[in-house]
Structure formats: structure tokens, C-alpha cells
Structure 1
Amino acid sequence: MTERVILEPGQPAPDFALLDQDGVTRTLSEFRGEQVILFVYPQAMTPACTKEACEFQESTAPLAAAGYRVLGLSRDSVERLRRFADRDQLDYPLLSDPDTAVHVAYGAYGEKNSYGRIVEGVIRSTFIIDAEGRISHALYNVKATGHVARVLKLVGVSAG
């Protein structure tokens, strides 16, 4: 197994070109000039990931008012992401990275402890990226519950 990347504040955020739930190619560079919150979650439509995604949805308006765009990232197919977005009324881009290349570039895939066993998989993480495309905060191994409130506090945004 290759050494896992750990991104640090000030480093350039790795660019990407991925399809969203509508089949539109999205790149990080298209958001240059805006601040981005990229959250990486293991699997669409599972209870914890749904809770996290819905909490981000509830926070998109105050985040947008403060100049932040929310992007979700998972290994799910475009079709599954479309069902997830439709089911839970998620109106921000959900990015499909089935080969995990972007997960790996961000250090959000690798060995992790799952119920006492070491397994390889998606590491729930969130990256706050500044308007120049640099990492402001890299949060690894986050919990789905309460995480959005922590992100809002970090970026100085009050929850709607």
C-alpha cells in the first residue's frame, strides 16, 4: 500500500475533473475566486452520510452568503448520486470518484480502524479551500454527527 497523503493548510488543493449527479464535469478550478467546502463521505444513502449531507444542505444558504460553495465527494456512481440528491433535496454538486483517484490525492482513502479492525476504505474528511485554491483546513476522520456545526464554527458562519 502506498503512503497516505495528508494535506496541510497552505498547500494547493489537488484539482480534479469529476462528474456530478447531473453528469456535468466539475473541476475545482472552476470555483477559483470562491471558497469551497469539499466533504468526503463513504456512501450515499447510508444513515450517517445522509445525516451529514442533509446538515450541509441546511447550511448552504448561510455558507453561500459568506462566500462558500459546498461540494460532496464519494465513490458512488452518478446514477446513485442523482437518486441521493433527489431523495434528500440536495442542491449542491455531489461528485462521483469511482476509482478513488481524488480520494487518494486528498488523503481521504486508506487504512482506517473500523469497529476494531484495520480496513482500507474511505476516510470521512472535510477540506476547506480558499479562493486561491489552497487548503485552509484539512479535517480527517471526522464524525458525521455534529461535524457540520464544527465546520460552520471554523469558517465563522452561524447556522441559519
Structure 2
Amino acid sequence: MADRVILEPGQTAPDFSLPDQDGVTRTLSELRGERVILFFYPEAMTPGCTKEACDFRDSVEPLAAAGYRVLGVSRDAVEKLKRFAERDGLTYPLLSDPELAAHHAYGAYGEKNSYGRIVTSAIRSTFVVDEEGRIAEALYNVKATGHVARVRKMLGV
């Protein structure tokens, strides 16, 4: 775990270009001037990830009204993300990072304790990126349930 990046508020958010569920390439630097909530989740269509993704879906409008754009990131293939978005009515981009480049850049992949055993996997994490492309908040090892409500409270939304 020593080599895992841990981002701190004030640092420049690592840029990335990843395809979304429709195959459209999304690049973080193209969103400068906007505030972005970037959440990394382990796997589409699993119970915890579905809960978190649907909570973000249900909060997209108030977050957008407050000036935030939501992006989800997982290592799932574009086709699986498309099925996930369609199945659960997810209205924001889901980005495919099968090579884990963005996961590693954000420290959202590594060893974690899963039900008492150490596994190497995606680490559920959320980052708030400000208009200048800097990390405003970096939340690691978050729980799926109640997380979006905590993010909204933290942001005053």
C-alpha cells in the first residue's frame, strides 16, 4: 500500500480521458470552469455500487443546480456500463477505466480489507474537483450507503 497515491485538497486533479457508457471520450481538463464530483466504485450492477450510483442519480438535479457535475468511474467495460445506466436510469456519465490508469492516479485502487481478508481491488472513493481543476475534497474507503447524503451535506447541497 505504500506506493498508493493519496490525493489531498489543493493538489491538481489528475487529468484523464476515458470513454463513457455511450463510447464518448470524457476528459477531465475539458470540464475546467465546472465543479466535478468524481466517484470511483468497484463494479457496476453489484448491490453496493447500484445503491451508490442510484443515490447519485437521485441527487444529480440538486447537485447540478449547485454547479456540480457527477461522473462515475469503474473498471467495467463500456458495454456493461451501458447496461447499468439503462437498467437503473443513470443520467450522468459512467466512465470505463479497464486499464486502471485513473484509478491509480487517484489512489482508488489497491489493497483493502474486505470482510476480514486483504484484497487488491477498486477502493470506493469520491473526489470533488473545483473549477480550477484542483482537489477540493478527497474521500477514500467510503461506504456506499449514506455516502451521497454525506457528500451533499459537506457541499451544502
Q: TM exceeds 0.5? A: yes
Normalised-by-shorter TM-score class = over 0.9
Runs of 4+ displaced beyond 3 Å:
none
Report Cα offsets for 1:13-55 as digits up to 9, x if no partner. 0000000000000000111111000000000000110000000
Structure 2 residue matching 1:127: 3-state secondary structure: strand
* Cα distance in 2 between the residues matched to 1:37 and 1:61: 13
Say yes or no: does 1:11 pair with 2:32.
no
Unpaired stretches in structure 2, ≥5 consecutive residues: none
* Cα distance in 2 between the residues matched to 1:47 and 1:120: 19
- Alignment TM-score, normalising by the size of structure 2: 0.98
Say yes or no: does 1:71 pair with 2:67.
no
Give aligned pairs, total: 157
2:99 corresponds in structure 1 to 99
Following superposition, the deviation at residue 91 of structure 1 comes to: 1.0
* Cα distance in 1 between the residues matched to 2:99 and 2:15: 16
Q: Which amino acid aligns with 1:60?
A: V
Say yes or no: does 1:108 pair with 2:90.
no
- Alignment TM-score, normalising by the size of structure 1: 0.97
2:35 corresponds in structure 1 to 35
Unpaired stretches in structure 1, ≥5 consecutive residues: none
Aligned ranges for residues 77-92 of structure 1 at < 5 Å?
Answer: 77-92=77-92
Q: Percent identity?
A: 76
Superposition RMSD in Å: 0.9
